């Protein structure tokens, strides 16, 4: 497959039609011929009784996107490579739900298939800086995926670093913002910073990065909806709630103690990793979207839109 093919001539495969995959597909379909776009979903997705999946299925049908049913978790590297070999570009939007080792397997299958260009599931933090040993095993795997991609020259890769999904910052299970009790918890310290971006903005910007000319090759592209400290986050929540919030610091030492008691707690692992701060943020002024003048939604706007009626 030629690395010089025009994006409009390429066959693109998006892995997953969840929160992010759906946005990537919508934005690609708006710019490309839909018949060149396919999406891979788990068996039974399009016949599921789940309302969200039905809605996505209807949307894919309206867009004219081809739907492939493949089990990424159970499929072998060889089987996945056979599926991937038909496509010029693979964009992985499956996240970590398929289990440990799946992102490595997908990447190995992409390389085995000889795919020209690959956007791996790296829609997160700066794993080069985080390295290994953050306390979050899936971060360790992401670091290894980068090493794997850099060890070869046949498949171009583009990593889109987005920080945390903005919604996750406000996810009750994450334990940082609790509007019901007017509480905000800082991970590490009030000065610890985090970069966040909405799936809608990631979908838009990923399509722009895919179409960018001259073609982006073997690069990490940083984007951001917002970069803020947990102290700034508490102030934003106070402004939205119209009252003072209770502020609690979860220090690294405290989080280590909690993990010692519950080492398999996934959310605790995330809190510990983000409490480290390093690699979890970058200046918005140095991002792709800032350089291109593309507006994105910040944390304050997200909170006003989604929780404005909960005051």
Summarised one tens digit per residue, pLDDT across range 278-294 is: 999 999 999 999 999 99
Kindly state whether residue 20 falls inside one of the protein's structural domains. yes
Measure Cα distances from 41 to 67, 94, 106, 226, 267 in Å: 7, 9, 14, 30, 26
Tell me, yes or no, whether 187 lies in a domain. Answer: no
Split into its structural domains, the chain has a count of: 1
Nearest-angstrom CA–CA distance, 111 and 193? 35
The residue range of the domain holding 25 is 7-163+197-225+279-296
Residue 304, in any domain of the structure: no
Domain with residue 45: its CATH number is 3.40.50.720
Is 41 domain-assigned?
yes
Task: Note whether residue 305 is domain-resident.
Answer: no
In a domain, 268, yes or no: no
Q: Is residue 74 one of the residues assigned to a domain? A: yes
Q: What are phi and psi of 72, to 5 degrees?
A: -65, -35
Taking only the tens place, the pLDDT of each residue in 159-216 is 999 999 999 999 999 999 998 899 999 999 999 999 999 999 999 999 999 999 999 9
Is this structure's pTM higher than 0.75?
yes
* Burial of residue 78 (number of CB atoms within 10 Å: 0-12, 13-18, 19+): exposed
Rounded CA separation 91/17 (Å) = 11
């Amino acid at each position: 497959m030629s690395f010089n093919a025009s994006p409009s001539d390429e066959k693109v495969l998006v892995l997953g039609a969840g929160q992010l995959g759906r946005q990537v597909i919508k934005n690609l379909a708006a710019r490309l011929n839909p018949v060149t776009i396919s999406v891979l979903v788990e068996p039974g997705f399009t016949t599921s009784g789940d309302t969200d999946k039905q809605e996505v299925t209807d949307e894919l049908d309206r867009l004219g996107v081809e739907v492939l049913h493949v089990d990424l978790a159970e499929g072998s590297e060889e089987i996945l490579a056979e599926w991937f070999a038909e496509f010029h570009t693979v964009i992985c939007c499956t996240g970590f739900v398929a289990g440990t080792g799946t992102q490595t397997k997908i990447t190995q299958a992409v390389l085995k298939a000889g795919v020209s260009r690959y956007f791996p599931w790296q829609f997160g933090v700066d794993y080069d800086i985080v390295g290994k040993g953050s306390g979050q095993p899936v971060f360790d795997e992401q670091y290894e995926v980068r090493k794997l991609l850099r060890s070869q020259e046949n498949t171009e890769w583009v990593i889109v670093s987005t920080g945390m999904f903005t919604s996750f910052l406000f996810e009750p299970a994450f334990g940082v913002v609790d509007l019901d009790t007017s509480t905000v918890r800082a991970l590490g310290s009030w000065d610890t910073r985090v970069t966040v971006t909405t799936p809608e903005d990631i979908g838009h910007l990923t399509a722009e990065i895919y179409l960018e000319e001259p073609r982006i090759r073997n690069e990490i592209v940083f984007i951001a909806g917002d970069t803020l400290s947990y102290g700034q986050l508490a102030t934003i929540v106070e402004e939205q709630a119209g009252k003072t919030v209770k502020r609690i610091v979860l220090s690294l030492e405290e989080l280590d103690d909690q993990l010692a008691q519950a080492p398999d707690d996934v959310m605790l692992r995330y809190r510990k990793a983000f409490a480290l701060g390093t690699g979890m943020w970058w200046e918005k002024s140095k991002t792709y979207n800032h350089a291109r003048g593309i507006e994105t939604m910040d944390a304050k706007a997200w909170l006003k839109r989604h929780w404005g009626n909960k005051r």
